[in-house]
Amino acid sequence: MSAPVVIRGGTVAEAGWTAPADVFLAGGKVTALAEPGTPAPRGVTEIDARGMLVLPGGVDPHCHVGFTSGDFTSLDDYAQCTTAAVFGGTTTIVDFAIPRPGQSPADAAHAQRARAAGGLCDSALHACVVEWDETVPEQLRSLVADGMPTVKMFTTYRGETMADEDTILRTMATLRDLGGMVVIHCEANHIIEDTQTRCSHDGRIGAEHMAATRPELAETASVAEVLAIAESLRAPVYFVHQSTPEAVELVAAARRRGVAAYSESVAHHLVLDDSLYAGATPERFVCCPPLRPRPVVDGLARHLATGEITTIGSDHCCYDLAQKESRRSDVRVMPNGLPGVETRLPVVFSEFVTGGGLPVTRFVELTAANPARANGLYPRKGTLMPGADADVAIWDPSAQWTITSEALHMATDYTPYEGMAVTGRPRTVLVGGRVVVHDGVLADPEPRGRHLAAGPVTSPGGRTRAARASR
């Protein structure tokens, strides 16, 4: 059990407000937010947070740990991924239990949960459905009861994880009635395969052509189709890694019609653009959906401020350079995805809070509170209100530093942000009331991370009528 602590002199930032406050922690929980200078009982350890923001630890809703796809498995385990997460100010990750071909959703979930040990912070899991059969409803019922109410689906990656429309519809309807939600990767596979075939005929299938091989239209078309299913069913749906403003706007328009539909964006789509594919190392930036042209990136980022984006994840996928380089001549067989669990919060804070005037309250909403809500983890996670877990990022908003892969802790040898100058970083990170990282040093390596059983998902936005209420 963690000893009592008070974090003094900082400015607490929640999703809805900021205020100077002292934060009292005991027994692994937040016990009080108090007037600055409130006397502490004897024996309480004081942490000086003057000049700092005191934030709820980040919640990363999209994090692949040891993820196998095609011939490649990403390189981290829970110990490595959560260590990197905590160094970056994130104190809860949500991983995926993706079935291998022929494996059931329940077996995949149990296998991935068995790997979820040795973490420095807590984790939860999205289950995943690829193919419908008569056993799926009962599997979903028991997965939801077992704390996995969110179920990943894909409209792409044929032969691996792609689900057909009937499977998506049935899974969505079943989850709607169980208090769960489909979380979905939308790219219309037929458009992508056809585009890739044409690119291949023209000799344009290497990593430098990544953006052309997965067009924006494929994402727009798939989002529209899945939204139609959700609207028809009055079921909630959460779109992962939306990479274009059009995709986000389709979801926002559906929300205005009463659909409980949510947009996740990820840090690299908000910051990096497709000019990187023209550089010397295009393979380092190969991810799905691909990086988009600068006007698209800027259009997407505008929706951080409009409120239309619900959450920011990392889509962390920890391949190293040898893996990325080995198939760089053909994006159809390359390992997709970028490492990012550690850089998500600093990059987003620097670009959009320091550099773009995004209120820190919105930063907390996007990176902690809303991911916790959308994943059935709120108010245990994503807030510092009394009763929440004592996961805290004491954030230095004016620290200036340069991102280099050498100084990061992810199980890879590169970062897509190499050399980027950023402002703002976590100075001290507490997990369950214990200081785990302080001034860039691991202060407590004891693996106390727990697997979280998520409850029913709650609406992450004030403007949306919940699906059940709208039926």
Binding site for ligand URP (CB under 6 A): 64, 185, 287-288, 315, 317, 336-337
Q: 264, 238 in Cβ contact below 8 A?
A: yes
Nearer to ligand URP among residue 254 and residue 318 (C-beta): 318
Nearer to Zn ion among residue 95 and residue 396 (C-beta): 95
Instruction: For residue 61, say if its preceding peptide bond is cis, omega within 30 degrees of 0.
Output: no
CB of 428 to ligand URP, least distance (A): 31
Q: Which tokens in the block code for residue 425?
A: 């970083």
214 binds, among Zn ion, ligand URP, none (CB under 5 to 8 A by kind): none
336 binds, among ligand URP, Zn ion, none (CB under 5 to 8 A by kind): ligand URP
CB of 177 to Zn ion, least distance (A): 26
CB of 79 to Zn ion, least distance (A): 21
Terminal-to-terminal C-alpha distance of the chain? 45
- Of the candidate spans 79-87, 178-186, 198-206, 219-227, the one that interacts with Zn ion by CB under 5 A turns out to be 178-186
Instruction: For residue 289, say if its preceding peptide bond is cis, omega within 30 degrees of 0.
Output: yes
- Of the candidate spans 8-16, 122-130, 244-252, 312-320, the one that interacts with Zn ion by CB under 5 A turns out to be 312-320
Is position 315 an interface residue for Zn ion (rule: CB under 5 A)? yes
Nearer to ligand URP among residue 185 and residue 427 (C-beta): 185
Nearer to ligand URP among residue 2 and residue 74 (C-beta): 74
- Nearest one of 416, 127, 460 to 291, comparing CA atoms: 416
Is position 269 an interface residue for Zn ion (rule: CB under 5 A)? no
Is position 185 an interface residue for Zn ion (rule: CB under 5 A)? yes
Nearer to ligand URP among residue 263 and residue 336 (C-beta): 336
- Nearest one of 283, 340, 280 to 316, comparing CA atoms: 340
CB of 68 to ligand URP, least distance (A): 11
CA angle 384, 388, 391 (to 5 degrees): 65
Nearer to ligand URP among residue 336 and residue 415 (C-beta): 336
Dihedral Cα 438, 439, 440, 446, nearest 10 deg:
-10
Is position 303 an interface residue for Zn ion (rule: CB under 5 A)? no
**316 φ, ψ (degrees, to nearest 5):** -60, 125
Pairing of strands 392-402, 18-20: unpaired
Q: 376, 236 in Cβ contact below 8 A?
A: no
**Would you tell me the crossing angle of helices 294-306 and 245-256 to the nearest 10 degrees?**
30
Q: 336, 317 in Cβ contact below 8 A?
A: yes
287 binds, among Zn ion, ligand URP, none (CB under 5 to 8 A by kind): ligand URP
CB of 411 to ligand URP, least distance (A): 16
CB of 73 to ligand URP, least distance (A): 12
Is position 219 an interface residue for Zn ion (rule: CB under 5 A)? no
In DSSP terms, 437 is beta-bridged to: 429, 442
Nearer to Zn ion among residue 94 and residue 143 (C-beta): 94
Is position 316 an interface residue for Zn ion (rule: CB under 5 A)? no
Instruction: Tell me the C-alpha distance between 223 and 258, whole Å.
Output: 16
Q: Which residue is nearest to Zn ion (CB)?
A: 185
Secondary structure class of 93 (helix, strand, coil): strand
Nearer to ligand URP among residue 282 and residue 337 (C-beta): 337
Q: Could you say which DSSP state residue 290 is in?
A: P
Query: Which residues are near Zn ion by CB under 5 A?
Result: 185, 315
